Amino acid sequence: MADKAKKGKEEEKKDAPTLPKEILEKREELQKLALKDNNINPLLHNGITNRDIFRTLLFHFKTDNYIPLENAAEFVVNLLKRPILTKYDKEAEERFLNSLHRIMASYSKNQKWLTEDEFCNLMQSFEVKNDYEFTDAQQYDMFLDRLFFRVKHQKTDHINIDDFKSLIERSGFKFEEGEFENLIKWYFKNKDEITLEEFKMFATGNCVKLNDPKKK
């Protein structure tokens, strides 16, 4: 039975998403550094650290130096939210929410919120390598696939700009006037549609901001 399960995992890994060689090499280097420094996030290649993420979430949740567990878990659930059509859909969402809350609480001293150090420890806890399961890099890549497909609730290789904005705002983030338009201008050249590959490049920090020729 164990051999059969192992074989199944190995077959799944063959179908795991792949990224360009240079990105994989950079990610592997960051993963090694992350084992020694809980501030390094090996999934992001734009210099953003776990402490940067924590401080951005402070602004989002309007707190001074902690992230409420309940709000953080709901934040992730809302980001991945899918239509609730039956009681089973609702029950599945509640199980997911409770699971997230338990994982976060295991790193919280008071079981109510995460401090900056606790958040960084949580982020560092993700396994970098595993012989039988998907690596965190592969899981993150598949997470981005599901997030992108969830916009239209079906597999697709592109979404329009309005759908992209809706995807971001689903997490609770609200753009200031002109902020989203500038994002599209600088990162996507004012395109009307965004491909799955472009979305992944943006989400992993590999989408380089364009230089403004007027500022040269």
Q: Which CATH number is 200's domain given?
A: 1.10.238.10
153 in any annotated domain:
yes
Q: Are residues 117 and 174 in the same domain?
A: no
| Domain final residue pick, 126, 154, 174 | 126
* Full domain range(s) for residue 53: 34-126
Q: Indicate if 189 and 171 belong to the same structural domain.
A: yes
pLDDT at 31 over 50: yes
81 shares its domain with 143: no
Write out the DSSP string of the chain: -HHHHHHHHHHHHHTS----HHHHHHHHHHHHHHTT-TT--TT--SS--HHHHHHHHHHHHT-SS-EEHHHHHHHHHHHT-----SHHHHHHHHHHHHHHHHHHHTT-SSSSEE-HHHHHHHHHTS-S--SSS--HHHHHHHHHHHHHHTTTTS--SEEEHHHHHHHHHTTT--PPTTHHHHHHHHHHTT-SEEEHHHHHHHHTT-SPPPP-GGG-
Number of domains in the chain: 2
53 and 121, same domain (yes or no)? yes
Residue 68: is its pLDDT beyond 90?
Answer: yes
The verdict on 185 and 112 lying in the same domain is no
Same domain, 122 and 137: no
CATH code: domain of residue 57:
1.10.238
pTM score, two decimals? 0.54
pLDDT computed for residue 90 by the predictor? 83
Pair 105, 151 in one domain:
no
| Residue ending a domain, choose from 126, 147, 166 | 126
pLDDT at 83: 67
User: Do both 77 and 49 map to the same domain?
Assistant: yes
**pLDDT of 196 above 60:** yes
Which pLDDT value is given to residue 107? 94
Q: How confident is the model at residue 119 (pLDDT cuts 50, 70, 90)?
A: very high
